[in-house]
Structure 1
Amino acid sequence: MPADPVARRAREKNPPAVRHHTLHEAARNPVLWLMWLCLLGAAGVAVLGICLLTVYGGQLGLGGPTVWSVTVAGGAGAAAAGALSDRSGRRTALISACLLLAVAQFGVLGAARAGSGVLLLGCATVTGAAGAAVLALVTALATDHFGENHSASVHGLLTGAWLLPVAVGSSTRAVAYTARDPHSAFLLAGCTGLACAVVALFLKAPGRLSVRRVVPNPHPLGEEMA
């Protein structure tokens, strides 16, 4: 164990993988595909939120570039997610990020009803920060669960889940379709964020025994030798 207490706590909260998995071995484990689904849903929520926030921003007298810049600034603040995950654990931090992402989408609906531009900018900041945090935490969890030797191929598979909504969201036709009923779109996005948090509950490292499952030896070594 590391001598530094901070590093020791981070190691206890985020133990390393039991062994190094190849991409083929990791793909046969359901945990990898749960990560993929969690990342896909969170990316879809973040992309949809960013696209539609500019629509609501225009209705509340805020320029699209203003909302966009606040969202990007919030994403830069997601660097704190790594430090928080060292203290609370990556899975706990991931669940919190998914919940924040969901709450931000519901908050946009409240901002539209109240006509509050400040609340809208706050939700844009949270959307950017939580969306970026989910990406960072899922990739870190993949390393903790499947090892480092083949992390590039595993991360490449997971990154595809993030890029898919980005490619779809960049289509002007997709943005125009969701902009017809942004209320329902944000409601669906919030529910998707909650679903991602539920999926994150099941992200447990393959082959790692839970502390509750470890049964102490009823006959310690000292008694057996006595």
Structure 2
Amino acid sequence: MPTVPRDTRDIHDYYGRRYRVGERDVDLTGRPREWMLGLAWISMFAISLFQYGFGAAVPALARERGWSVGEALTVLAVWVVCQAGVSFPATWLYRRVGPRVPLLVAAVLCAVALLALAHDAGPPVVTYSVLGGVGCGTVYATCIGAVTQWFPERVATRVGFVSGAFGYGALPFVVLVSFADPAVVLDAAAVLVLVAIGVSGLLLSRPPANWWPAHIDPHRFALDRRVNRSIPNNVPAARAFPPWAAVRSGMLPLMFVVVVLTATMALFDVAYLAAHADATPAFTAASLGTLAVAAGLGRVWTGSLSDRLGRKRVLALALVLGGTAQFGLLAAVRGGTLAAVVLFAGLAGAGTSAGYSLLVSLVRDWFGDDATLANYGIVYTGKAFGGVAGVSLAGAYAGAPSTVPAFLVAGGLGLLAAALTARLHQPGRRVLSVPGA
């Protein structure tokens, strides 16, 4: 059984942050912490089909069951509200009881939701949207929380890696559901999702509060750029900001608005490509598959890049890319060229997805370690509002003669989000002289 070393102690660094040092990951769990990373990745991969995969299933389900575009998009919109809206209570639950109970409950909810989508004749707003949304949101928050605690020195890259699976993991389902019987694919997916998340729930654990890997000196990591490549672009918080203080700083509400705008743009792309009037199975699979893969890889890439260039700078650049890509996607859709649609769907996915993973690190860097999950839970809730706006915008123009206004609005919102990101600043930041900077 794992043993706890006797020399375990709490220390503080130059910024006042607390660390629990002396315990190796194998002392705590009997396994390297990469096991926990893998379990979180598997769970995120499993729930990836709910957002992008549902979009790919919309044309087939609408044909078979007589759903209107509005009914299909309502299912997606309510799912987004529940998935994002549960983030704050889900992070609270994770902090209280750990990952096991949330993941096991979420595994059942997600499996029931997929079975309902496979067999309900009418739009399964309650069973798929509510149960599936709550289940997926719980998985998302729990996995992000566990990764943040197990990799405190590499939050951006590891969160990017895990949350990336929420995007590219949908590709197999997108392809299968576009060409095979949706009910069969959904039944199989329900079993796989139940097993994947259930096993992760049984095995995933969290370290003690403020745990720090024993092989890294936290004092050197805080100040030496040879150890921490993120210096000097990402300076730690001046002090801890609990949610009420983070809101009063003005920066957390501004981040919330950025998420609302980003989610509007991102969910507009998913919903519009799903409900595109002239879509063929090849078009749906190619466009949404590319969007999902690019969204996942974009999170991985920007997470690593933000260590070198700074979180805020990379986030702003990614949003400029996502906003600009809307205009290219407009031209591609109007031109009817699949290759162009795929290209700009990929650029849009890469740009719009970066905010969700980067904001975890940005919230931690600016508001402190102690309330990272609570503050991020508040910020991520903005996706619920943006998701409804984006899906509604897509529904309004899905069958319209001209889609120009919709894409102009989506692109404009993305560029506005980039401009607001440039106005973000770290609250209470002290001017520090960092050795080696």
Correspondence for 1:133: 354
Residue-by-residue CA offset, 1:190-211 (whole Å, 9 max, x unaligned): 1111101100011110111467
Tell me if the contact between 2:264 and 2:388 (Cα under 8 Å) persists in the aligned partners.
no
| Segments ≥4 residues shifted beyond 2 Å | 1-9, 53-63, 112-116, 163-170, 173-176
**Pair 55,128 (structure 1): closer, same or farther in 2 beyond 3 Å:** same
Superposition pairs of residues 103-182 of structure 1, within 5 angstroms:
103-167=324-388, 169=390, 175-179=394-398, 180=400, 181-182=402-403
CA distance in 1, matches of 2:226, 2:404: 44
Amino acid at match of 2:352: G
Check if 1:194 corresponds to 2:410: no
**Paired residue secondary structure (2:238):** coil
Percent identity of equivalent pairs: 27
In structure 2, what is the Cα distance between the partners aligned to 1:64 and 1:161?
27
Counterpart of 1:34 (choices 250, 254, 261) is: 254
Bigger relative contact order, structure 1 or 2, given CA contacts below 8 A and separation 6+? Answer: 1
Shift of 1:65: 2.8
Which one has the bigger helix percentage? 1
Question: Distance between the aligned counterparts of 1:110 and 1:70, measured in 2?
Answer: 17
Counterpart code for 1:88: L
Q: CA deviation at 1:88?
A: 0.6
Once the 2 structures are TM-superposed, how far is the Cα of residue 162 of structure 1 from its aligned partner? 1.3
Tell me how far 1:59 sits from its aligned partner: 5.7
Taking a change above 3 Å as real, the CA distance of residues 168 and 184 of structure 1, as seen in their structure-2 partners, is closer
Distance 1:60 1:101 in 2: 25
Change (3 A) 1:90 1:57: farther
User: In the alignment, which residue of structure 2 is the partner of 1:44?
Assistant: 264
Deviations 1:176-196 (A, max 9, x none): 313224221001111111101
Q: Which residue of structure 1 lines up, in the alignment, with residue 308 of structure 2? A: 87
- For residues 256 and 227 of structure 2, the distance between their equivalents in structure 1, rounded to whole angstroms, comes to 28
Contact (CA 8 Å) 1:34, 1:199: kept in 2 or not? yes
Offset of residue 103 of structure 1? 1.1
Q: Which deviations, in whole Å up to 9, do the C-alpha atoms of 1:144-198 show, x marking residues without a partner?
A: 110110112101111110133335556xx76431322422100111111110110
RMSD across aligned positions (CA): 2.5
SS at match of 1:71: helix
Q: Which residue of 2 aligns with 1:19?
A: 239
User: SS of the residue aligned with 1:11?
Assistant: coil
Q: Quick one: distance in 1 between partners of 2:421 and 2:326?
A: 19
Tell me the residue number matched to 1:9: 229
Mapped partners of 2:411, 2:322: distance in 1? 7
The size of the alignment, in residue pairs, is 210
* Residues 87 and 141 of structure 1: CA distance in aligned 2, closer, same or farther (over 3 Å): same
**Rounded Cα–Cα distance in structure 2 between residues aligned with 1:209 and 1:42:** 30
Deviations 1:129-148, CA, capped at 9 Å, x for gaps: 22221111122211111011
Show structure 2 runs of 5+ residues with no match: 1-219
Scaled by the length of structure 2, the TM-score of the pair is: 0.45
